[in-house]
């Protein structure tokens, strides 16, 4: 009952925000970038909201439940990537662009082909990420609220379409800010309740170690059984992918200048680190201490009810009864809504501002471009919902690996070179990015997730789950070689302009 009340209150509140934002979001600047009027603190909360997805809140704690301290391998690399993004990318990105990644490239290399390329890669990455989020969301909401998977996905799809189509970036940002505040508060409440109930941190750890079948091995690294090569490729793949994620990068355009963009990332990184720290040090061990071995949360076969992704939800029940369960369910729903809204903004703005505008000759009518934005919002949401229903049974990890792999290998090298290397030509960027894109997709197909787990082969041809270790350097080298050899007069003129 609490879950339903919280859910309805949440939907009403977010729709009210959308109505408020719709009255203020006029023109391209308002719709794409919230008029660049967010403060660094607000944008920092929104960035934290983008990262603290349902997979962070539920998925990583589930990982601790099975693999112990290796959970940190799925938390720290995102923070590492965000840190490098702050050092190398976000300042110049804000100075060079207005609304999309296409603006940034057009500033240095005004090539229609390159703009279409970056628009398509943004759409591909964001749609893959969106489908992964929707598949996860559908399963979770179905369990939490007793809906069917299809209805859960459709409800999320309709709400995200309303937020983005009417409220634009301002509505998506405020939904994200509120969700981040709710999530942080909920994590803190769970931490306090767990510590009070256990009698302190050392007592909580002792209880977790006593419950875990292998005792204190729970706190040792190596529980996931990954090889050193796999762990290194995971860290590099996630960090490089983070630096190329369009829905994070375009947040730089929602604040007034480069300094504010950098401060936003620092605020976001701090909030993410605080939440991750509490999840890693308190919430995850508490799930083992309170949920593992308790028949109330097990099926007849001994498995966790709803799967291990539900251990935080069960922990909430154990610590705070039905009330805390309802709050956690509603916060999880808000988390999903906010993340998918941010992704939809990235798809729609790339469709309208990079693809549609690039294909027009002469003056671009702003009203027509915004109509395309709204059409793209509806179309991309509908496509994502349909694909999520089709891919319902597929492994979400493949889609996440694909999104991060393409971001790391197709977006990140091109952006970094465009910012820092004057010798980059449009042809070099286009061919380098394409090589990164194709090699990333090839390596994912030949890797363990697709080749073994989806296609059923015995052994993977490529050992890489995250292909950035190979594909990103290939993109860099190709872009460099092509640019050096490029005798195209236009490119040379552009790079020295």
Partner 1 sequence: MVVSRKKLLLTAVACLIMAPLPIITGMDESSPAGLASPLAAIPLSAWIGLVTMLVLIVVSWLSIEHDNGESGE
Under the rule (CB under 8 A), what is the footprint of partner 1? 68-70, 72-73, 75-77, 79-80, 82-84, 86-88, 91-92, 95-96, 108, 201-202, 205, 209, 216-217, 219-224, 226-232, 234-235, 239, 258-259, 262-263, 265-266, 269-270, 273, 276-277, 280-281, 419-422
CA 407 to chain centre: 11
Q: What's the DSSP call for residue 59?
A: I
The answer to whether the CB of 182 falls within 8 A of the CB of 160 is no
- Cβ closer to partner 1: 73 or 437? 73
Q: How far is the CB of 127 from partner 1 (least distance, A)?
A: 29
| Complex with partner 1: residue 234 or 339, whichever CB lies closer | 234
343: closest CA among 295, 292, 388?
388
Contact 169, 31 (CB under 8 A): yes
Nearest approach in angstroms of CB 104 to partner 1 is 11
Closest separation in Å from C-beta 163 to partner 1: 29
Nearest to partner 1 of 108, 353 (CB atom)? 108
Q: How far is the CB of 284 from partner 1 (least distance, A)?
A: 10
How far apart CA 485 and CA 437 sit, in angstroms, is 21
Separation of alpha carbons 226 and 232, rounded Å: 10
- The H or E element that residue 80 is part of is helix 76-84
Residue (224 or 298) nearer to partner 1, CB: 224
Write out the two tokens for 86: 């702050």
- Single out the residue of 246, 235, 125, 237 nearest to residue 472, CA to CA: 237
What are the DSSP calls for 438-472, one per residue?
HHHHHHHHHSIIIIIIIT--SS-SS--SSTHHHHH
Toward partner 1, which CB reaches closer, 9 or 87? 87
457 in the Ramachandran plot: left (φ > 0), alpha (ψ -120 to 50) or beta? beta
For partner 1, the closer of residues 151 and 420 by Cβ is 420
Residue by residue, DSSP assigns 251-270 as GGGGSSSHHHHHHHHHHHHH
Nearest distance in Å: CB 424, partner 1: 11
Q: Based on CB atoms, which residue is closest to partner 1, 223 or 467?
A: 223
CB of 439 to partner 1, least distance (A): 22
The span from the CA of 29 to the CA of 399, in Å, is 31
CB of 390 to partner 1, least distance (A): 34
Spatial CA neighbour of 426 closest among 142, 160, 106, 13: 106
Q: How far is the CB of 66 from partner 1 (least distance, A)?
A: 14
Closest CB to partner 1 among 67 and 312?
67
Nearer to partner 1, 157 or 237 (CB): 237
**Are the C-beta atoms of residues 350 and 379 closer than 8 Å to each other?**
no
Calculate the alpha carbon distances from 161 to 63, 209, 278, 332 in Å.
32, 45, 33, 19
Shortest reach from residue 307's CB to partner 1, in Å: 24
């Amino acid at each position: 009952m609490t879950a339903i009340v919280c859910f309805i209150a949440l939907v009403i509140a977010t729709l009210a925000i959308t109505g408020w934002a719709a009255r203020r979001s006029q023109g391209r600047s308002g719709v794409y970038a919230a008029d660049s009027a967010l403060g660094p603190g607000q944008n920092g909360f929104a960035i934290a909201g983008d990262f603290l997805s349902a997979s962070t809140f539920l998925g990583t704690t589930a990982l601790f439940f099975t693999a112990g301290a290796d959970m940190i391998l799925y938390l720290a690399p995102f923070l590492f990537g965000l840190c490098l993004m702050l050092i190398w990318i976000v300042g110049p990105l804000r100075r060079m662009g207005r609304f999309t990644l296409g603006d940034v490239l057009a500033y240095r290399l005004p090539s229609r082909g390159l703009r279409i390329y970056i628009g398509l890669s943004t759409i591909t990455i964001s749609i893959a990420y969106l489908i992964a989020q929707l598949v996860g969301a559908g399963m979770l909401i179905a369990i939490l609220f007793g809906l069917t998977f299809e209805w859960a996905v459709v409800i999320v799809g309709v709400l995200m379409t309303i937020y983005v189509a009417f409220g634009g970036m301002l509505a998506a940002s405020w939904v994200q800010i509120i969700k981040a505040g709710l999530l942080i508060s909920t994590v803190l409440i769970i931490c306090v309740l767990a510590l009070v109930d256990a009698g302190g941190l050392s007592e909580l750890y002792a209880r977790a170690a006593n419950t875990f079948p292998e005792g204190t091995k729970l706190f040792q690294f190596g529980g996931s059984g990954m090889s050193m090569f796999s762990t290194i490729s995971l860290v590099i793949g996630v960090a490089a992918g983070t630096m190329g994620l369009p829905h994070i990068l375009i947040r730089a355009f929602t604040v007034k200048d480069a300094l504010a963009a950098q401060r936003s990332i620092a605020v976001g990184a701090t909030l993410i680190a605080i939440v991750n720290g509490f999840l890693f040090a308190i919430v995850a061990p508490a799930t083992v201490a309170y949920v593992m071995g308790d028949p109330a949360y097990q099926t007849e076969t001994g498995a966790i009810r709803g799967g291990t992704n539900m251990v935080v939800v069960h922990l909430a029940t154990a610590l705070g009864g039905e009330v805390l369960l309802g709050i956690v369910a509603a916060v999880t729903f808000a988390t999903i809504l906010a993340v998918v809204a941010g992704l939809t903004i990235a798809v729609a703005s790339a469709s309208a501002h990079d693809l549609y505008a690039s294909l027009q000759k002469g003056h671009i009518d702003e009203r027509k471009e915004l109509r395309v934005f709204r059409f793209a919002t509806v179309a991309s949401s509908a496509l994502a919902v349909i694909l999520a229903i089709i891919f319902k049974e597929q492994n979400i990890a493949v889609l996440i690996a694909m999104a991060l792999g393409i971001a790391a290998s197709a977006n990140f090298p091109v952006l970094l070179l465009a910012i820092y290397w004057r010798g980059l030509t449009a042809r070099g960027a286009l061919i380098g990015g394409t090589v990164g894109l194709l090699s990333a997709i090839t390596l994912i197909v030949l890797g363990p997730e697709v080749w073994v787990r989806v296609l059923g082969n015995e052994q993977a041809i490529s050992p890489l789950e995250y292909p950035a270790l190979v594909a990103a350097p290939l993109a860099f080298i190709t872009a460099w070689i092509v640019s050096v050899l490029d005798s195209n007069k236009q490119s040379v003129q552009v790079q020295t302009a």
